[in-house]
Chain A
């Protein structure tokens, strides 16, 4: 093991340019993937925020007894799709309207706006179909005059989300594949550069496992360095974007570790495949 580490380090020292090239290639491949990940992450967050606002509002007829309304609120809260239910009294509706639409403050008079039940859906159950079902059930109450949930808006949002997910997956897989192919070929170059050494190792009776180990270590080190560099590049991109273009959210710590780990994993896998293929051939 010690020898394998020494050989891996020696390989770095012997061909520093080639090693740097491998690391930078891995870094840029992962950087492209990371940038894409950032876009996907921020798009998802933005959609999430919009989706959180999906709500069904049932307007209550004037003169309904508070007991009936409160019983209905408890009832609705038990629907499996429903996250939370809130009763907005006439007074609260008026106050909110005055707050949100200041320029019309004097237009709103008491009794103008009806009380309502505001229903928010559970996460993951905000698709048009489910929202419509809840709206229908709300309509069944006698004292509900009208139910609104911005049908068209919910549908558009849903479609946008599907497109974003599909495109994201396709692009993500493509980026990952490209990264793996590029990384695999740089490691293949490193293996070919040392084919003479491999031949000599075999000649003097080194086992395949022994020959493979330094390459695996080398691949993992390169992958880790590439992953770190990619992370730094992505972070710089976020800072630059934040200053001049648009504030975006960076990866959580666990995702950062996952990224570096992915780099190490790809390096390891690329090396294993390249060396394996080489050993099988000679």
Chain B
């Protein structure tokens, strides 16, 4: 579903960010993207949601190739993806449910569908009781749950999480991680960039390790089913 073929990314200033990265993420799969800061984890995620385009190579997401994808196709592709970040990126002047509804409103969902979908997403992340709270009235973990609900509300194929627990304490981290596992268990693929190795070690999920722009380790490399 997500396939990188010899993808390199060079910035005009700052040099190479990715060098010949190839991997394949299948439908419903959970994979960690690990490595030190600046290794290229965020760049990979940006290439998936087309905030960046590869310098060379090809990124295919849900059958759409980075080579042929037009500017007008990008919004449609992004509706099939959910993205969450370390800093949540919520709108401060809107309640939890308004933040979630925002993702539906701006993609033209009819109003009668918005209410039930938002309620379902907030229930899924365990925040149904705080639907009318503003972001600053919520803890960090709760804010990240709102962001996850917003990412989920369009029923994405894959949830891209860029250091989702980077700003959270131990307990909230556990909670968010469990939530991501639950989401994956219900069929959504998850690609999670993190440098929290304790999370990586305690599960058997696939791990893609980055270092200086290269993919130095893929735990599924021995599994023929994960390649190709």
Where the two chains meet, the residues of A that have a C-beta atom closer than 8 Å to any C-beta of B are: 3, 14, 196-197, 199-208, 210-211
Q: Cβ of B79: which chain A residues have Cβ within 8 Å of it?
A: 204-205
Asked whether B91 lies within 8 Å of A203 as measured between CB atoms, the reply is no
22 contacts between A and B (CB under 8 A): A3-B105, A3-B106, A14-B93, A196-B89, A200-B89, A200-B102, A202-B78, A203-B49, A204-B78, A204-B102, A204-B107, A204-B154, A205-B76, A205-B77, A205-B78, A205-B79, A205-B154, A206-B75, A206-B106, A207-B72, A208-B75, A210-B106
* A contact residues around B192 at 8 Å (CB): none
Complex Cα spacing A3 to B103, Å: 13
Chain B 103-121 per-residue mask, 1 if CB under 8 angstroms from chain A, else 0: 1011110000000000000
Q: Which residue of A lies closest to B83 (CB)?
A: A203
**Given contacts A14-B93, A196-B91, A197-B91, are A202 and B75 in contact (CB under 8 A)?**
yes
* Nearest opposing residue in chain B for A203, CB measure: B83
B3 interfacial contact with A, CB 8 Å: no
Q: Name which residue of chain B comes closest to A207, CB basis.
A: B75
The size of the chain B interface, using a CB distance under 8 A, is 19
* B76 CB contacts on chain A under 8 angstroms: 205
| A200–B92 alpha-carbon span in the complex (Å) | 12
- Give 13 new A-B contacts, CB below 8 A, not counting A3-B105, A200-B91, A205-B107: A197-B91, A202-B75, A203-B78, A203-B89, A204-B78, A205-B76, A205-B78, A205-B79, A206-B106, A207-B75, A208-B75, A210-B106, A211-B106
Complex contact A199–B89 (CB within 8 A): yes
In whole angstroms, what is the CA distance A204 to B83 when docked?
8
Instruction: For B106, list chain A residues within 8 Å (CB).
Output: 3, 201, 204-206, 210-211
CA distance A210 to B106 in the complex (A): 7
Chain A positions within 8 Å of B91 at CB level: 196-197, 200
CB distance from B102 to the nearest CB of A (A): 7
For A211, the chain B residues whose CB sits under 8 A away are 106
Evaluate contact between B89 and A206: CB separation under 8 angstroms. no
Q: Which residues of A contact B9 (CB under 8 A)?
A: none
Residues of the A chain whose Cβ atoms lie less than 8 Å from the Cβ of B83: 203
Whether the Cβ atoms of B93 and A206 lie closer than 8 Å is no
Residue of B nearest to A201 (CB): B106
CA distance A201 to B102 in the complex (A): 8
The answer for the CA separation of A203 and B74 in the assembled complex, in Å, is 10
CB of B150 within 8 Å of the partner chain: yes
Q: Which residues of A contact B78 (CB under 8 A)?
A: 202-205
Q: For the complex, what is the distance from the CA of A72 to the CA of B14, rounded to whole Å?
A: 90
* Chain B residues with CB under 8 A of A208: 75
Task: Give the shortest distance, in Å, between A1 (CB) and chain B (any CB).
Answer: 11
- Asked whether A205 and B75 contact (CB < 8 A) given A196-B89, A200-B91, the answer is yes
Bound-state CA distance A207–B73 (Å) is 9
Closest Cβ–Cβ distance, residue B135 to chain A (whole Å): 12
Write the B167-209 contact mask toward A (1 if CB under 8 angstroms, else 0).
0000000000000000000000000000000000000000000
In the complex the two chains form, what is the Cα distance from A204 to B91 in whole Å?
13
Please name all residues of chain A whose beta carbon is closer than 8 Å to the beta carbon of B154 when the two chains form the complex: 204-205
> How far is it, in angstroms, between the C-alpha of A211 and the C-alpha of B78 when the chains are bound?
15
Residues of B within 8 A of A202 (CB): 75, 78
- Chain B 82-102 interface mask (CB, 8 Å, partner A; 1/0): 010000010101000000001
Which partner residue on chain A sits nearest B150 by CB separation?
A: A204
Q: How far, in angstroms, from A207 to B107 measured CA to CA in the complex?
A: 8
Nearest B-chain residue to A211, judged by Cβ: B106
- What residue in chain A is nearest B76 (Cβ atoms)? A205
**A197: B residues at CB distance < 8 A:** 91
Q: Which residues of B contact A207 (CB under 8 A)?
A: 72, 75
**Which residues of the partner chain B approach A205 to less than 8 Å between Cβ atoms?**
75-79, 103, 106-107, 154
> B104 CB to closest chain A CB, in angstroms?
8
A274–B49 alpha-carbon span in the complex (Å): 25
A residues in contact with B77, CB < 8 Å: 205
A159 to B102: give the CA distance in the assembly, Å: 64
CB distance from B155 to the nearest CB of A (A): 12
With A and B bound together, what is the CA distance between A73 and B107 in angstroms? 78
Give the 3 A-B CB pairs with smallest separation, nearest first: A205-B79, A205-B78, A206-B106
Give B91's nearest chain A residue, CB to CB.
Answer: A197
